[in-house]
Amino acid sequence: MIEDKKVQENIKAGLMAYKGMAKYYLKGASGRGVAKSWDRLTLAEKVSAARALVKMAEVASSPKDFFSRQATEADWRSRAESYAKENHISVASAYLIILGPKELVMNSVEAALQQPLRQQYYNFLKLIQDYEYAEGSSKYTCAQLVVEEAERICKRYESVSSSFLSKLVKQIQLSLHR
C-alpha cells in the first residue's frame, strides 16, 4: 500500500510540474506552434494567465484544501441540494450538472493552460479527486494512478527545464520509455 504522505507529496510535485509546464508553453518555448505565447497575449489575457499561474501554485502548495473530502464534500453537497431544489430535479442529477472540486479548480486556472496541457491537467485533477474520495481497495488503485501521472509530468517538466545537453538525453530516455 502506498502511504498517503507519499501520494500527497507526489500530488504537490505533479501540480507544481504542471504549473511549470504551463509557464513553458506560455513562453512559447515548446516550439510546437503554440496558439498563444506570452508575446501574443493581450494585456487582459496576460493578467488572467498570471492570476491562473498564482492559483496553480496555491493549489499545488495545499491540494487538500481543494480536493479532500473533508474540505469539499459539505459545500459540494450543499450546492447540489440547492440546485436540485431550484430546478426540481433529483440531487443525484444535480451532482452531474454542478461543478465539483476538480471543475472549480480547472475553471480558476484555465487561462494559463493550452492544449494538450489543459486536458492532461484536468485528467490529473480527476485522478486527485478520485483518490481523495475513494474508499477501501479502490484507494490503492487511485493512489497508483496519481503517483504514475505525477512522476510522468515531473520527468517531462524536468526534461524541458534543464540545459540543452541534459534535455536531449532526457528526451531520448523519455521516448525510449514510451
Q: pLDDT for 61-98, tens place per residue?
A: 999 999 999 999 999 999 999 999 999 999 999 998 99
| DSSP states of 18-66 | HHHHHHHHHTTTT-S--S--GGGS-HHHHHHHHHHHHHHHHHHH-HHHH
Contacts for 93-102: CB closer than 8 Å, 24+ residues apart: 100/72, 100/76, 100/129, 101/66, 101/67, 101/72, 101/76, 101/129, 101/132, 102/67, 102/126, 102/128, 102/129
Residue 127 has a pLDDT of: 96
Residue 167 has a pLDDT of: 61
The amino acid at 152: R
Q: How far apart are CA 129 and CA 13, in angstroms?
A: 16
Task: Say what angle helices 101-109 and 43-61 make with each other, to 10 degrees.
Answer: 140
pLDDT tier, 33 (very low <50, low <70, confident <90, very high otherwise): very low
Pair 90, 98: CB distance under 8 Å: no
pLDDT tier, 18 (very low <50, low <70, confident <90, very high otherwise): very high
Cite the DSSP H helix spans in the chain: 4-26, 43-61, 63-67, 69-87, 91-97, 101-109, 117-133, 138-161, 164-177
Residue 27 has a pLDDT of: 82
Q: What is the share, in percent, of the chain residues with pLDDT greater than 90? A: 61
Identify the three-state secondary structure at position 175: helix
Q: Can you give the pTM of this predicted structure?
A: 0.84
Report angle CA 104, 110, 121 to the nearest 5 degrees. 80
Nearest to 150 by CA among 121, 117, 112, 114: 121
Q: Can you say whether the dihedral through the CA atoms of 91, 97, 101, 104 is positive or negative?
A: negative
End-to-end CA distance of the chain: 26
Residue 118 has a pLDDT of: 92
Residue 175 has a pLDDT of: 73
Residue 6 has pLDDT above 50, yes or no: yes
